[in-house]
Structure 1
Amino acid sequence: MTEALESVFKPKSVAIIGASRSPGKIGYEILRNIKEYGYKGKIYPVNPAADEILDIKCYHSVLDVPGTIDLAIISIPAKFVPPVIDQLAEKGTKAAVVISSGFSEVGNKELEEDLIRRARRAGIRIIGPNVFGVLYSPTRLNATFGPRDVRPGNIAFITQSGALGIALMGWTVTEKIGLSAVVSVGNKADIDDSDLLSWFRKDENTNVVLIYMEGIADGRKFMQEARLTTQFKPIIVLKAGRSKKGMVAASSHTGSMAGSDVVYSASFKQAGVLRAENLEQAFDWALAFSALKIPKGRRVVIVTNGGGVGVMATDSCEAAGLEVFDPPEDLRKEFKRYMPEFGSARNPIDLTGMATHEEFRGALRTAIKHKAVDCIIALYCETAVSDPIKIADVVTEVFHTSSKPITVTMIGGENVSQAMALLKEHGVPVYPDTERAVSAMAALVRWAERRSHPTM
């Protein structure tokens, strides 16, 4: 399996079987993405009616391609896919991504079984069928028909839904969230989430794995791989099909065996997997985990220039199981250096509306240095006294020199939006409300505790 997935993510050559000359066609967009994202390996478009596509020499059949094909991207009518697998066997291919639909998801199980039977006979591993492709940013491989300007990062995203996966790729670009990988698994006829977890666990370019799933065929295998992976890297799962009708919808969408939601939740918890409630929360957590600063406990300090948001964050922390502790005298004394007399050093640390970026810098550094503090939540409300951009610069500086995790909330107008964009650009987990910043920190703490005590 390792060799096959090396061919998926780090291929020296890629064939696009079903490459098209027509913009808007899947075979055209995948080839264009591979070329324009900057892939440096050999590219072999295959189309019996074309000699050249996008200034790249085109081959009339798989057997005409010179040398070995490490990875095949197949986008042709479903009935022609199994015979192509036989041809790929002659080219030494180790892995194929089958974009084509028309298999078990529409009841055509026999064709899918024939595909997998031929692939196994040839020693070829299959991603799909019924997928939108794969992306691996470290090798500049974007073999998808999704957005081509995906930002490099360290979040691996595995998705069972094609349309949702493509939409979220675009959303990560807008939100300046970097990805190490995107894998559309579709019907999961061969390679599944468990196989991918095994590979990403060892991938030095991935810090966190985010999975959208509708069902698991082999629950025991998944939980075994998840348990091993969560000792090193967090796994965030967004599992759809919670309700009875949701399970029916999941089954009709990808042919998934959705199963009991209660069983899924219990199994995820046992394996140390973090289950998100919705897409927003899943990516909020992934953003916080991408820096992989691990808290040593749940004692949190809230640093704010607004009393109201400090109270809101305190409520959220209590509900999430974080400890908003009373700072010891020496720590309170240090905090008081950065606030007027009417400020509060009792946690939340209320620097008041008079605080500038310098007071934020001093208070945040104080929290980082003190051994009583495990993690920090920084809250900023826009005032005429402080420049949001300067606040963002300070938070970025402090975040990247801190050994402790920090999540941030900024609230205000257009200037704050620009400051948040700056923080996102530099990989700082920033959110538009306190509850999301607290939720992300609580997820970090839960994973760290589970990692330290695997039997919890």
Structure 2
Amino acid sequence: MKHTDHRTLNRLLRPRSIAMVGGKMVERAIRQCDLLGFEGDIWPVNPHRDEMYSRPCFRTIQDLPEPPDAAVVAVPRESTIQVVGELAATGAGGVVCYASGFAEVGGKGIEYQKELDAARGNMPLIGPNCYGVLNYQDGVALWPDEQGGVRCQRGAAIISQSGNITVSLTMQRRGVPVAFLISTGNMTGVKTHDYIHAMLENPDVTAIGLYLEGVVDAYDFSVAAIEALKKRVPIVVLESGQSTIGAKVTRTHSYSLSADGQVSGAFYQKFGIIQVHSIPQLLETLKLVSLIPPDDNPTIASISCSGGEAALMADLVAEKNLEFAELSDTQHKRLYEVLGDRVNVSNPLDYHTYIWGDQVAQTECFQAVYEGSQNFNLNVIVFPLEGICDPI
């Protein structure tokens, strides 16, 4: 089995020149690069067109001014193999293969994928059967479709075996800072652990999110996970195919074999990987670990206006083996001055309802808690229905 040197991936993931091979689909990729403000060279390759998105077209790969750092290939399956071979021969930095119909369909598709792997030589290949790469740090869209992300200098990297889930994740509105989004497809060339290593070499990647349909190489994956632990970069994983039917779906979707849920869960726990079970959990967890640095003994402060809510927060924190931060003398004094002797000043804090509608008092109460030593602040807020409650 050929191995991708993850150290060479930077040229593909952070290119200064991109060849776009194909028609309508790569025209979309060029448009996305322009929308994201990519400042490098873009060279469309199409023998039947004179220009593409205001750029002159080259007839063949051999006509390019120099080997591109990256290429997007969106042509039919058989032509994809030929084009990949030509790119490898020129010394290109790597390629994204959009076409499907390879190993994920079984039968002859498996042979086509073997031919594709042989054609790439040692050149990094993303896909086939994938959307590719969105690098929001540099404005790079090796991505022949629509996307909803924006430039981001520092944030999480999300690596997904599902192309459509990746597209959906570009549209997230949960405030997750995303530096990279990668759709991996069948992973003929670059594997999950290669992406992890490459992301770990980028100091502005704060966390790594994974949507997996199975671990391709458990040993290499574990080595990457250990390296992430050493560098204190959290990994969050959502793995599908945990049911019998789900496993069949992943087999025909991205040519992946998923493990039993208990087995994979134990594997992730052993290597310090945070496992979640839904896309909202994936995004919210990534947001949390991206914005708040890892801590071996994290502490929490909780604010609510109900004793019942404060008690529920206390139970939840105990269940998760976390701790509430002790309030300092200064915090006690500030909170007593704003809340008075009718409130028990403690953490978790039930500030009652006495200061509702008093913006100055509520601001001082919240700030007094926020400025403590804790890692996390949790606010329990209930939003009333409009039109039936006093607007204060």
Shift of 1:331: 5.3
Q: 2:156 touches 2:206 (CA, 8 Å); kept in 1?
A: yes
1:289 aligns with 2:289: yes
Residue 98 (structure 1) aligns with: 97
Q: Give the corresponding residue for 1:54.
A: 53
Query: CA–CA distance in 1 between the matches of 2:182 and 2:294?
Result: 26
Q: Distance in 2 between matches of 1:188 and 1:180?
A: 21
**1:6-405 alignment, distance < 5 Å:** 6-20=10-24, 26-107=25-106, 108-120=109-121, 123-153=122-152, 154-170=155-171, 172=172, 174-231=173-230, 232-295=232-295, 297-324=297-324, 332-353=332-353, 354-355=355-356, 356-367=358-369, 370=372, 373-381=374-382
**Structure 1 counterpart of 2:390:** none
Change (3 A) 1:176 1:147: farther
Give distance in 1, aligned partners of 2:187 and 2:265. 21
> Residues 3 and 94 of structure 1 are in contact (CA less than 8 Å); yes or no, is this contact kept in structure 2?
no
Three-state SS of the structure 1 residue aligned to 2:291 is coil
* Residue-by-residue CA offset, 1:166-207 (whole Å, 9 max, x unaligned): 11211x2x3343310010001011101100110111212210
Asked whether the equivalents of residues 36 and 150 of structure 2 are also in contact (C-alpha less than 8 Å), the reply is no
Deviation (angstroms), 1:266: 0.8
CA apart distance, 1:334: 4.4
The 8 Å contact of residues 95 and 124 in structure 1, kept in 2 or not, is answered as yes
Change (3 A) 1:240 1:84: same
Looking at structure 1, the residues matched to 303 and 295 of structure 2 have their Cα atoms a distance apart, in angstroms, of 17
Identity %: 22
* Partners of 1:98 and 1:74 in 2: CA distance: 5
- Contact 2:302/2:377, CA 8 A, preserved across alignment: yes
Structure 1 stretch displaced more, 297-306 or 9-18: 297-306
Deviations 1:58-83, CA, capped at 9 Å, x for gaps: 11211111122110111111111222
* Post-superposition offset of 1:224: 1.2
Contact kept? 2:328, 2:372, Cα under 8 Å: no
Which letter does structure 1 place at the counterpart of 2:41? K
CA contact (8 A) 2:104 2:186 kept: yes
Query: SS of 2:339's equivalent?
Result: coil
- Once the two structures are superposed, what CA deviation does each residue of 1:1-36 show, in whole Å capped at 9, x if it has no partner? 34531122211110111133xxxxx23322221222
Q: Cα deviations across residues 184-238 of structure 1 (Å, max 9, x unaligned)?
A: 0010111011001101112122101110000112011101101211332000000
Give the Cα–Cα distance (whole angstroms) in 1 for the partners of residues 326 and 200 of structure 2. 38
CA distance in 2: counterparts of 1:14 and 1:297, whole angstroms: 45
Where structure 1 has 5 or more consecutive residues not aligned to the other structure, the ranges are 21-25, 382-410, 416-456
Pairwise CA distance, 1:365: 4.5
Which shows bigger deviation, 88-97 or 142-151? 142-151
Could you say what secondary structure the match of 1:207 adopts? strand
TM-score (norm. length: structure 1): 0.76
- Letter of the 2:111 partner, please give it: E
Q: SS of the residue aligned with 1:45?
A: strand
C-alpha spacing 1:149/1:361, structure 2 compared with 1 (3 Å): same
Q: How far off its partner does 1:149 sit?
A: 3.9
Instruction: Give the drift of 1:156.
Output: 0.7
SS at match of 1:337: helix
Deviation of the 1:57 alpha carbon: 0.8
Shift of 1:113: 1.0
Are the aligned partners of 2:175 and 2:287 in contact in 1 as well (CA < 8 Å)?
no
- Distance in 2, Cα, partners of 1:296 & 1:275: 18
Question: Within 2, Cα distance between the matches of 1:298 and 1:36?
Answer: 40
CA distance in 2, matches of 1:215, 1:200: 20
Aligned to 1:447: none
CA distance in 2 between counterparts of 1:237 and 1:28 reads 33
Q: C-alpha separation between the residues in 2 aligned to 1:98 and 1:211?
A: 20
Q: By how many angstroms is 1:328 displaced?
A: 7.4
Q: Note closer, same or farther for the CA distance 1:215–1:301 as it changes in structure 2 (3 Å cut).
A: same
Which letter maps to 2:67? T
What secondary structure is seen at the aligned counterpart in 2 of 1:238?
strand
- Report the CA distance between 1:332 and its aligned residue: 4.0
Cα distance between partner residues in 1 of 2:363 and 2:118: 61
**CA distance, structure 2, for counterparts of residue 29 and residue 101 of structure 1:** 18
Deviates more, 1:29-38 or 1:321-330: 321-330
**TM-score normalised by length of structure 2:** 0.88
Q: In 1, distance between residues paired with 2:39 and 2:386? A: 40
Q: Mean alpha-carbon deviation: is it higher for 290-299 or for 109-118?
A: 290-299
What amino acid sits opposite 1:5 in the alignment? L
SS of the counterpart of 2:281?
helix
- 1:28-51 per-residue CA deviation (whole Å, 9 max, x = no partner) reads 322221222211111011111100
CA distance in 1, matches of 2:123, 2:144: 23
